[in-house]
A = this chain, B = another copy of it.
């Protein structure tokens, strides 16, 4: 009974993060920064607010993360031509190079993590966890709606 799926999932995710951190320690980039860069790759030109929501930090926190990443030459702020309050975020070539390296690291890590599982089991694992995420995602949206209605 102690092995609830929630605890199990959190433990496993933490082991993933730890292993990932151990393998990228020398890069000078933290795991949360990788998360930012990784999302930014798929949402090139996104503004700070929406990106903060994606990686789930407060806008002010993201603002300061971008400060540091811009200083490190990994992220670039460009003025939004349609809204002078906003910035559009872009990756620099250097960030893209680092992403390629990280992608290899991630692939290797995933292979190690699923060592001993056959293809069918891997697919099933992804399908089942995907359904969990879907459930929680819906629940969450539902709860947020309730919370807004209550205020």
* Of A3-11, A80-88, A91-99, the one with at least 4 CB within 8 A of chain B: A3-11
Inter-subunit contact B124/A12 (CB<8 Å) = no
Q: Which residue of chain B has its CB nearest to the CB of A9?
A: B13
Inter-subunit contact A132/B136 (CB<8 Å) = no
Inter-subunit contact A56/B143 (CB<8 Å) = no
Inter-subunit contact A16/B22 (CB<8 Å) = no
Identify the interface centre among A3, A114, A136: most chain B CB within 10 Å of its CB.
A136
Inter-subunit contact B125/A113 (CB<8 Å) = no
CA distance A137 to B125 in the complex (A): 18
A interface residues, tally (CB under 8 Å): 50
* Of A43-51, A61-69, A71-79, A115-123, the one with at least 4 CB within 8 A of chain B: A115-123
Secondary structure of the A side of the interface? helix
Q: Which residue of chain B has its CB nearest to the CB of A56?
A: B14
Beyond A126-B8, A128-B128, is A139–B110 a contact (Cβ under 8 Å)? no
Picked from B4, B117, B133, the residue with its CB within 8 Å of the CB of A12 is B133
Inter-subunit contact A129/B131 (CB<8 Å) = no
7 nearest interchain CB pairs?
A: A13-B13, A15-B136, A12-B133, A125-B128, A6-B16, A10-B13, A9-B13
Inter-subunit contact A16/B10 (CB<8 Å) = yes
